[in-house]
Homo-oligomer: A and B are copies of this chain.
């Protein structure tokens, strides 16, 4: 109680960057996920669930934004004063699981996981602190077959949810090729990790700052849009030239691209290994029918995570959509992944060769919505049994039970508003049909039905002629009580 004697109210509020997801969106997402799960399972991936909380040292620090000091995770001390955190991805928990179960896990182990992950990023439009990832990984093999299948899974998943071939592309590259290029930049020996990381980050900015921007950032630096000067990597013009030659590699076929890469990496052993990996993946893809229209080799793909060791890949949506301001924009990458042969070794001390990819659930869902490929998923029971006369409640309970026993979703109106408000409630909550029965109908052994969708459409069409419509009520009709189930089925079938 406050000093005034009034009870102090709690303010109902949600944490910033978090959201509530309404029925239609949950249903649309679940439908999308079900289709993608079918694809993952078709390749032999099986579900695994790991906890949302893990020890911080077990998760490690592998966020792509790790160089931004304000990017973070939700971490706190547990009752034993150990640091724990909400998972920020699904790969770190998978690594922990594999390390704990390596003795008895049949390898290669193929798992998928769909779960929310948590990042304390700066929230913004479409950027949430709790969001779903949907990962699939193959653990315990160095075979490029597994990496080729990653590319195939991404293609199949996107087509399964209705993205047409041609509206997406899988971009493939290999970190070993990049390492080979950096070896050449470093004059033939392995480039120091810090410097290599710096160069890769500049390359990764290509899409944002353009070719010239990358060239400047590899050298002395450049002014960004705000006018601030960003310090560059400080490579010599000759060194920069090697990187730019590599980034300019292009070709009409995957083969043409890795052949061109081969000449850039020269005699770098690791670079040649990377080219050979791309060659193997290309052969498998070709064999399985995944041509250059679906998977291309792109020398500019880096993928942000420091732990990738071999092939890296992403699936990108290539069509434009108009946003609310009439601006055309692209959705960009909806899958990202790669091979991480050393990640599990930080627990086991020995390599557990692994590869996999992660789907950004929200971005793909937004794209499907923009394409009109996922709308109209109704999560509500289609029928409302209204209560015109509260004295007939027992009869209404019988009606609704009969419908449910027939497997038809039917909600009994349990509020206390009048029939007009009940129809509005039925429309607002997405019902297809309302059933009405007064004492007259009861005496005649009849029920009335109102086709709410038809009613709403007619109401729109008729407009000014509303009065006539109200009198004629074309969307409303009567039927014998005994025909309840079949009459309801008939109306529902109009919208099936």
With an 8 A cutoff between CB atoms, is A379 at the interface? Answer: yes
Asked if B48 contacts A23 (CB within 8 A), the reply is yes
| Cross-chain contact B398 with A287 (CB below 8 angstroms) | yes
Give the chain B neighbours of A408 by CB distance below 8 A. Answer: 42
Chain B residues positioned under 8 Å from A140 (CB to CB): 415
Secondary structure at the A interface, as helix, strand, loop or mixed, is mixed
Q: How many angstroms between the C-alpha atoms of A413 and B50 in the bound complex?
A: 25
Instruction: Name which of A102-110, A300-308, A319-327 contacts chain B.
Output: A102-110
Task: Tell me the smallest distance from the CB of A71 to a CB of chain B, in Å.
Answer: 12
Q: For A394, give its contact among B76, B111, B120, B283 (CB under 8 Å).
A: B283
Q: Is A404 in contact with chain B by the CB < 8 A criterion?
A: yes
State whether A106 and B429 are in contact (beta carbons under 8 Å apart), knowing that A26-B48, A41-B409, A58-B10 are contacts in the complex. Answer: yes
Copies of the protein in its oligomer = 2
A424 CA / B104 CA spacing, docked (Å): 13
In the complex, chain A residues 190-207 whose Cβ is within 8 Å of any chain B Cβ:
none
**Docked pose: A82 CA to B288 CA in angstroms:** 54
A116 within 8 A of B: yes
Q: Is A66 positioned at the interface, with any CB of B under 8 Å from its CB? A: no
Is A477 positioned at the interface, with any CB of B under 8 Å from its CB?
Answer: no
B379 and A41 contacting across the interface, CB-CB below 8 Å: yes
CA distance A209 to B393 in the complex (A): 42
Residues of B within 8 Å of A41, CB to CB, are 379-381, 409
CB distance from A432 to the nearest CB of B (A): 12
From B20, B96, B404, A49 is in contact (CB under 8 Å) with: B20
**A23 and B46 within 8 A (CB):** yes
Q: Which residues of B contact A77 (CB under 8 A)?
A: 76
CA distance A413 to B107 in the complex (A): 10
A333–B35 Cα distance when bound, in Å, is 35
A411 within 8 A of B: yes
Decide: A42 near B398, CB < 8 A? Known: A50-B20, A414-B138: no
- Are A284 and B397 neighbours in the complex by a CB distance under 8 Å? yes
CA distance A414 to B415 in the complex (A): 59
Hey, which chain B residues are within 8 Å of A99, CB to CB? 12
Q: CB within 8 A of A379: which of B46, B84, B412, B425?
A: B46
Min Cβ gap A350→B in Å is 10
Q: Which residues of B contact A79 (CB under 8 A)?
A: 72, 120
Bound-state Cα–Cα, A54 to B116, Å:
15
The reply to whether the CB of A457 lies closer than 8 angstroms to some CB of chain B is: no
Task: For chain A, residues 242 to 270, give those with C-beta under 8 angstroms from any C-beta of chain B.
Answer: none
Q: Does A21 have its Cβ within 8 Å of any Cβ on chain B?
A: yes
Is there an interface contact between B43 and A414, defined as CB atoms closer than 8 Å?
Answer: no
Residues of B within 8 A of A130 (CB): 51-53
- Is residue A239 within 8 Å, beta carbon to beta carbon, of the partner chain? no
Q: Report the bound CA distance from A429 to B43 in whole Å.
A: 13
**Residue among A53, A60, A97 having the largest count of chain B Cβ atoms under 10 Å:** A53
Q: Mark A19-36, 1 if CB is under 8 A from B, else 0.
A: 111110011001000000
Taking a contact as CB atoms under 8 Å apart, the answer to whether B12 and A51 are in contact is no
Known: A43-B410, A74-B78. 4 other contacts (CB 8 A): A15-B51, A52-B130, A141-B414, A145-B412
A-side residues, CB < 8 A to B, are: 7, 9-15, 18-23, 26-27, 30, 41-44, 46-55, 57-58, 60, 72, 74, 76-79, 84, 86, 95-97, 99-100, 106-108, 110-111, 116, 118, 120, 130, 138, 140-141, 143, 145-146, 149, 156, 283-284, 287-289, 346-349, 379-381, 384, 393-394, 397-398, 400-401, 404, 407-416, 424-425, 428-429
27 contacts between A and B (CB under 8 A): A9-B349, A10-B58, A10-B60, A14-B100, A20-B48, A20-B49, A23-B48, A23-B111, A27-B47, A41-B409, A42-B409, A43-B404, A43-B409, A44-B384, A44-B411, A44-B429, A46-B380, A52-B52, A79-B120, A106-B425, A106-B429, A107-B425, A145-B412, A145-B414, A283-B394, A284-B397, A288-B401
